[in-house]
């Protein structure tokens, strides 16, 4: 199953359904179920700004459905989508800011310790809990 490693607090916010738009500077052909891995990096200022205490790092914490990826072409679109991405400031990657649209968030009852990898990577489904969809 496909997986994406994300810094905290963003990983927690995504599996809780509070953040429906992941921000990247690249696109990917995958659509459908996507595991969320909480990477080792914690963006402490963002945690403070958003009032989030990260649950865990270095673990797969849940699943979302990636429904679309598109280039966010303007600051107006960025502003219109702010309630979905929760980022402060302007487009993170300027004209190369891609929005990964997420739905059906589900947090696993127990985090699965796992070493993350850059990009979208494969995880053997045998390590996952039986319930895989929201």
CATH of domain 2-114: 2.30.130.30
**If pLDDT is split at 50, 70 and 90, which confidence band does 133 have?**
very low
Nearest Cα neighbor of 2 from 111, 117, 81 is 117
Answer whether 73's CB lies under 8 Å from 97's CB: no
Q: Which helix (H) or strand (E) holds 113?
A: strand 98-113
> What per-residue confidence (pLDDT) applies to 69?
98
d(CA 29, CA 87): 24
> What per-residue confidence (pLDDT) applies to 129?
78
Domain ranges of the chain: 2-114
Angle, CA of 19, 41 and 93, to the nearest 5°: 60
Reported pTM: 0.92
95-132 residue pLDDT tens: 899 999 999 999 999 999 999 899 999 999 888 877 65
């Amino acid at each position: 199953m496909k997986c994406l490693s994300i810094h905290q607090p963003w990983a927690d916010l995504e599996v809780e359904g509070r953040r429906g738009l992941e921000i990247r500077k690249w696109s990917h052909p995958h659509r459908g179920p996507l595991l969320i891995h909480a990477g080792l990096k914690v963006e402490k200022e963002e945690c403070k700004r958003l009032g989030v205490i990260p649950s865990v790092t270095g673990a797969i914490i849940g699943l979302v459905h990636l429904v679309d990826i598109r280039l966010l072409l303007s600051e107006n679109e960025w502003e219109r989508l702010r309630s979905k991405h929760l980022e402060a400031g302007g487009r993170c990657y300027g004209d190369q800011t891609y929005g990964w649209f997420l739905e059906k968030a589900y947090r696993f009852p127990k985090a699965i310790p796992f070493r993350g990898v850059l990009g979208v990577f494969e995880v053997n489904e045998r390590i996952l809990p039986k319930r895989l969809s929201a």
